[in-house]
Structure 1
Amino acid sequence: MSDPAIEVALAYLRALGGDDPDAVADLVSVDFRNEHHAELGSGCVGQDEYRRRLPGFFATFPNRRYEVTETAVGALVGPHADGSERVEVIVRYRFGADADDVRIDIPGVMWISVEHGAVVRRLDTWDSLTYLRQTGQDPTA
């Protein structure tokens, strides 16, 4: 995989699976948009707010890993006035982590927008029902 946008997206996922919140935040733009379409997810706007939230995410899901199962490059947006383009990278993944004293394995999809070598937007959706079942929670509550 030599596409620079795919490499940025994969570096972002590797950092999310690591232990350094700054390594993740350093890969996103100042005006980064973190969007979640999973019922249990929550989004935010801005690199600083994202950086502030990452330690809580890391603590909630220790021993995280993202196993990429498929990638695709979507539409190119641009070129903009400065000559840049936004590249849309779609990543299917399996998210593994420890949660509520059990090991979870959740399928998901991220749409990662890359511009100027940074992640400018992440739209994440994962299977909330599978998470609730694996952690022994009542999905009807």
Structure 2
Amino acid sequence: MEAFLAALNTGEPDAIAACVTEDFVNEHTSARGRSLTGRAAYRERLPGFLAAFAGLRYEVEDLLVDGDRAAVAYRMTARMQRDGAPAVPVDVRGVFRFRVRDGLVAARADYWDGEVVAAQTAAVDAPGD
């Protein structure tokens, strides 16, 4: 799980995908997120996600581990790229809930508030800014 977080911060799709199981379940609880199942599907989506969130960085605020389960409170920062518009700095806090199997992440549930990101992009788009 710590290797997974470190890989996310590298921005390297292959390194990130190597940290998850073949049957990895990636659940997003935000209405703005998209869940998926499978390492191959996850790997396929990573380049677009990483391009949309340039300079992606997860900072661990708190870590709780219980056997094969973990919860990580994080702060995610990036420069969000939007359809040719200027990049917008985003800063959002959330929580990952993990299940680990054989040293790899088997499941991740991501709890974050998509409205925080929407408000940050709207503030940049507001007239007069």
Same fold, TM exceeding 0.5? yes
Structure 2 residue aligned with 1:57, among 49, 53, 72?
49
2:90 is paired with a residue of what secondary structure?
Answer: strand
Q: Summarize deviations over 1:96-122 as a string: whole Å, max 9, x none.
A: 000142211100000011110100000
Correspondence 1:96 to 2:77: yes
1:64 is paired with a residue of what secondary structure?
Answer: strand
**Which 4+ residue blocks in structure 1 deviate beyond 2 angstroms?**
none
Structure 2 residue aligned with 1:18, among 10, 29, 43?
10
- Alignment TM-score, normalising by the size of structure 2: 0.87
Query: Could you say which structure has the higher strand fraction?
Result: 2
- Structure 2 residue aligned with 1:32: 24
2:24 is paired with a residue of what secondary structure?
Answer: strand
Correspondence 1:110 to 2:103: no
Unaligned segments of structure 2, at least 5 residues: 82-86, 124-129
- Structure 1 residue aligned with 2:110: 124
- Alignment TM-score, normalising by the size of structure 1: 0.80
Aligned length: 118
